[in-house]
Amino acid sequence: MSFQTLFTKMEDHTLIITINRPDKLNALNKQVMQDLDAVMDRVYKFPEIKSVVITGAGLKSFVAGADIKEFESLSKEEATAVAKKGQNVFFKIENSPKPVVACVNGFALGGGCELAMACHFIIASESAVFGQPEVNLGIMVGYGGSQRLTQRVGKGRAMELVITGKTINATQAMNYGLVNYVVPQTELLDKAFSILRVSHEKAPIAVGNSIKAVNAAWNEAENGYEKEATLFGECFVTEDCKEGIQAFIDKRQPHFKGH
């Protein structure tokens, strides 16, 4: 895979996606968003990719926000279109049937925080900083941050962060429920892989359906309980379900094949 703004690497069935604009603190510009959209298409398509890690190049920043220079002359209509495009890219990440982990190695501000929250969970380095400082520029969150931040940390804390533009450190983020783990910078990928390797041992359809069911809890257009029951039923027509049940009866490890 070759992209202008991303470096990609396959390791142990995990696609590591590194946003590679360190001179701009990995800010999200139009090309980055296009590349993220394209690489996620490949994640959906290729069965050899069982999980994804998203991180930023360098030691200072995951993603320090959007590339503000691209916002200078936007009209109301153009700005709305930019926000909707960003939301669609992040929906594609959030709805991935393969686990997507954000390894936040520094600043995760504005669009960077929104990107991290679109991932299924977040592992942060001890030096990570989170925030939605858009109000400092006279604008507001636009890539789904108002919704996902509220889902993750609750209305009160989300409201405080988006109306003040304040930032929080990694420990605060974990206390808020925004981050799953805080580890030393050098252990970010190791922590992610320790979790993802476990998920790789599970039936891919069951993993994907579990992701869909959890996401349904936050989708007002769906009844999460009905969605869960339907997805539960779908698992029972798979060969992996038969294998898993038989392996349990035989007291052996199952060998799942993804169908």
Q: Known catalytic residues?
A: 114, 134
- Phi and psi at 171, nearest 5°, equal -65, -45
87 φ/ψ sector (left φ>0, alpha ψ -120 to 50, else beta): alpha
Length of the chain measured in residues: 259
Rg from Cα positions in the chain: 19
Spatial strand order of the sheet with 167-169 comes to: 61-63, 107-109, 129-131, 167-169
User: How many Cβ atoms sit within 10 Å of the Cβ of residue 30?
Assistant: 14
The distance from CA 209 to its chain's CA centroid, rounded to whole angstroms, is 17
The conformation of residue 134, written as its DSSP 8-state character, comes to: G
Residue with tokens 């636009």, as numbered in its chain: 142
Which tokens in the block code for residue 173? Answer: 């983020």
- 3-class DSSP state for residue 31? helix
User: Cβ distance 154 to 68 under 8 Å?
Assistant: no
